[in-house]
Amino acid sequence: MLKRFKRILLLLVLSAYSLVAAGEGIDIRRASVDVGDEGYVVNADFNIELRSRQEDAINHGLSLYFLVEFEVTRSRWYWLDEKLASQQLRLRLTYQPLTRQYRLSSGALHQNFSSMEEMLRTLSRVRSWLIPGSPDLRTGESYMGALRMRLDLSQLPKPFQVDALTSRDWTLSSDWKRWPFTLSAPVQESVGRPPAQEGLAK
């Protein structure tokens, strides 16, 4: 009887831990390759839950960098899959104590928010991210897309990087999401431009 009680208690503890862990992290809710004005683009929706330590770090002036990575490959029966496109989008989260505003930046673009929740909602939506080499992708052919988002630990100050090696508090990453897609419409020759994040303004 005592052994059975201990097993039940252990299962309850593990279930509770799983629920807490499920509320912290990054999940990809939707990802697609669509036709844009200048070529094929990536659109994606994420579910992002920061850990309390990461929220505290932002509120105390530490910048956090998130990296979105995307790849396009084509299968080859006679060799390894061919990588046709690969790109990264780096996004920076900061807090401005003087104005009490949060800021999301992508390159020279940025947008301010009155709360962290608003900033994370915008971070979770990637829109019209132009795929480099779009003209090389052909209508009617099948490809494989791969996408993930993660906290870029290499951008943390050195003391935090050391701490991240031994603490799961800094681990924040989605799994790679892979999906097949077939291009359904031709595109015009694209003009290169930096990746875009919905809602960011100069």
Residues 7, 86: Cα–Cα separation, whole Å: 48
pLDDT for 3:
47
**pLDDT in the model for residue 45:** 98
pLDDT attached to residue 114: 96
DSSP character string of 86-117? EEEEEEEEEEETTTTEEEEEETTEEEEESSHH
147 has pLDDT over 90: yes
In this predicted model, what pLDDT tens digit does every residue of 18-52 receive, in sequence order? 333 334 589 999 999 998 888 889 999 999 999 99
The answer on pLDDT for 195 being more than 60 is: no
pLDDT score recorded for residue 198: 56
Confidence of residue 192 (pLDDT cuts 50, 70, 90): very low
The CA distance from 71 to 85, in Å, is 6
Mean per-residue pLDDT of the chain: 80
What average pLDDT does the segment 91-95 reach? Answer: 97
Residue 135: count other Cβ atoms within 10 Å of its Cβ: 13
| pTM of the predicted protein model | 0.77
> Closest by alpha carbon to 185, among 41, 8, 88?
41
